[in-house]
Structure 1
């Protein structure tokens, strides 16, 4: 089992210089601690938080990349680009990484981003599929001709092919059964969100595998986006996560929990953490990962090392803890090849 890190957002009050310096410190610490995947999501017009754009940022990180590390976009919002431009940008990035790129692709879910960029939010899934079709042509054909619903390309002479042949692996994001089937049909893995819990994960992965079997496509293991929070004791691990993710805790307070006491909010937060994270002593975290890997085909596990209010020293300390206590211990874990399903009842 491998561990990866997703590079997140910081407060806009952090200077661009400090943001970049902290990002590079995080990348160095991740690689030094045996992290095998460095990934980055995408948002536009993010208000009080700054989320650097993934393609140019990962291109900069490629200059620091160790041989054992893969970069991934998790996920780039495909309908917000012209597919010719996106295909060339990603092929360029694959070259800059010497073939160590995974293209994580999604249709997007924030309508305000689409409105700002003048793209029809209601048509995003159809645009997503057509864009992927054009991108694959751009990566595999000398001349591209395409006459579709959203884009037309006539006699497009391609000039940038990916380093990998025929192209980088594609992880396709989804949250519902229809999207999971789309991911099975069009991609090479489904990035599982942290909110997708045990029974629902088994159900959706079963849908994925059934669709792959129907299409005659090979089964795969899937990246799992989930926090790993180790500490000396179980209580200390929960305290650590509350400190790391305190803005998430405040979000609970500002919603339905606003009338509850601080202790009640903390208990509610811990209940969610139990279901959405691997948390506890290092041995407990490793056991939780092994338990899940025995049921569902997952690899790598993608964690978030930096939350908006954390200092670079805190981020590095967290990654050092992973490198010492978690990464070597999970290296010997191999997940199942296919989801273990509950036996059918009569």
Structure 2
């Protein structure tokens, strides 16, 4: 089981961003040197309550510091973008990193983002599905012609092609069973996020079941978790409780919990954290990660350990403890 780090690119409005580039480079190097295998950066737009650094330039900016790590969009909100441009972007990143790029895609859920991009949310699923189909073909074929519900192209070729043979992996983020099974059919893997442990376990099983039905290989199974490590349980919970509660209240306001079956992100901390957050001492975090390993057997757990309002010092100490006392026990 490998581990990815979700890099912070979302910050409070009153936080100065002077020097933020140096902080992000330092955290990337820390992840690289402490045993993480992947670096993820997310995407959101028109966030009037947060400063949100755009993922595409940030990924490119940090690519020279990743060592042997894979670098990934986590996630590219595909319905907002023209798939030809995303195919070209992904190919460029793959060339520049020597074949260490992976494209994470998701459908998006926030009405305001659809609105500002001039996209009808009702078309989101079609744009997502057709976008994936087109990117796969553009990465591996010349003269692509496509006539879909949303996109129509005639004789389109992109150059350069990606370095990876036959192409970079495409991983879909999904949070309910129907979208997980769609990911199994359309892409090379699935990354589950936000749902509690039992639901994530069921979704991992659904992904593998659908891959088997499609007579496909096992694919990539990833689980995203909020993780924070400190010397004591009390110290760990104290460091993240307010930040995570506020973050999930923000998710709720954006409509994220509306797309997850039976969930409420506005729940009190004790309910919200149950089966969803991994917060505690190194030994406690090891035990919980081993539970994931034994129950779901994921290929990777994507860890987010820095949240809006938290300083880099606190987050980096958690990363150091993960690298020193947690990852070696469960990798």
Q: State if a TM-score over 0.5 links the two structures.
A: yes
Instruction: Give the corresponding residue for 2:146.
Output: 146
Q: Which moved more, 1:127-136 or 1:46-55?
A: 46-55
Could you tell me how far apart the structure 2 residues matched to 1:317 and 1:100 are?
Answer: 27
Contact in 2 for aligned 1:242/1:249 (Cα 8 Å): no
Q: Which moved more, 1:50-59 or 1:242-251?
A: 242-251
Instruction: Give the corresponding residue for 1:198.
Output: 197
Contact in 1 for aligned 2:211/2:219 (Cα 8 Å): no
Task: Map 1:114-133 onto structure 2 (within 5 A).
Answer: 114-133=114-133
CA RMSD of aligned residues (A): 2.1
Instruction: Give the corresponding residue for 1:160.
Output: 160
Instruction: Give the corresponding residue for 2:282.
Output: 282
Could you tell me how far apart the structure 2 residues matched to 1:59 and 1:299 are?
Answer: 25
Give 1:199 deviation, angstroms.
2.7
Instruction: Give the corresponding residue for 1:75.
Output: 75
Contact in 1 for aligned 2:94/2:163 (Cα 8 Å): yes
SS for the counterpart of 2:295 is: coil
Instruction: Give the corresponding residue for 2:218.
Output: 219
Instruction: Give the corresponding residue for 1:22.
Output: 23
Give 1:216 deviation, angstroms.
0.3
Which structure 2 residue ranges, 5 or more long, are not aligned? Answer: 254-266
Give 1:251 deviation, angstroms.
6.5
Pair 1:302 & 2:298 matched: no
Could you tell me how far apart the structure 2 residues matched to 1:88 and 1:25 are?
Answer: 28
Contact in 2 for aligned 1:221/1:299 (Cα 8 Å): yes
Could you tell me how far apart the structure 2 residues matched to 1:173 and 1:95 are?
Answer: 24
Could you tell me how far apart the structure 1 residues matched to 2:39 and 2:250 are?
Answer: 27
Contact in 2 for aligned 1:43/1:51 (Cα 8 Å): yes
Could you tell me how far apart the structure 2 residues matched to 1:130 and 1:250 are?
Answer: 32
Instruction: Give the corresponding residue for 2:54.
Output: 53
Larger Rg: 1
- Superposed CA offset, 1:77-104 (max 9, x none): 1111111111101111111111111111
TM-score using structure 2 length: 0.89
Contact in 1 for aligned 2:143/2:155 (Cα 8 Å): yes
- Superposed CA offset, 1:225-247 (max 9, x none): 11222233333332233255363
Task: Map 1:263-342 onto structure 2 (within 5 A).
Answer: 268-331=268-331
Give 1:298 deviation, angstroms.
1.1
Could you tell me how far apart the structure 2 residues matched to 1:203 and 1:143 are?
Answer: 41
Could you tell me how far apart the structure 2 residues matched to 1:304 and 1:207 are?
Answer: 24
Could you tell me how far apart the structure 1 residues matched to 2:37 and 2:286 are?
Answer: 17
Which structure 1 residue ranges, 5 or more long, are not aligned? Answer: 255-266, 332-346
SS for the counterpart of 1:226 is: strand
Instruction: Give the corresponding residue for 1:342.
Output: none
Give 1:71 deviation, angstroms.
0.7
TM-score using structure 1 length: 0.85
Could you tell me how far apart the structure 2 residues matched to 1:304 and 1:222 are?
Answer: 17
Could you tell me how far apart the structure 2 residues matched to 1:76 and 1:34 are?
Answer: 25
In the TM superposition, structure 1's runs of 4+ consecutive aligned residues that sit over 6 Å from their partners are 249-252
- Superposed CA offset, 1:126-153 (max 9, x none): 1111111111111011211112222222
SS for the counterpart of 1:17 is: coil
CA distance 1:317–1:158, change in 2 (3 Å): same
Give 1:217 deviation, angstroms.
0.5
Could you tell me how far apart the structure 1 residues matched to 2:309 and 2:118 are?
Answer: 32
Instruction: Give the corresponding residue for 2:261.
Output: none
- Superposed CA offset, 1:305-339 (max 9, x none): 322212222222221121111122222xxxxxxxx
Could you tell me how far apart the structure 2 residues matched to 1:317 and 1:199 are?
Answer: 29
SS for the counterpart of 2:234 is: helix
Give 1:221 deviation, angstroms.
4.1
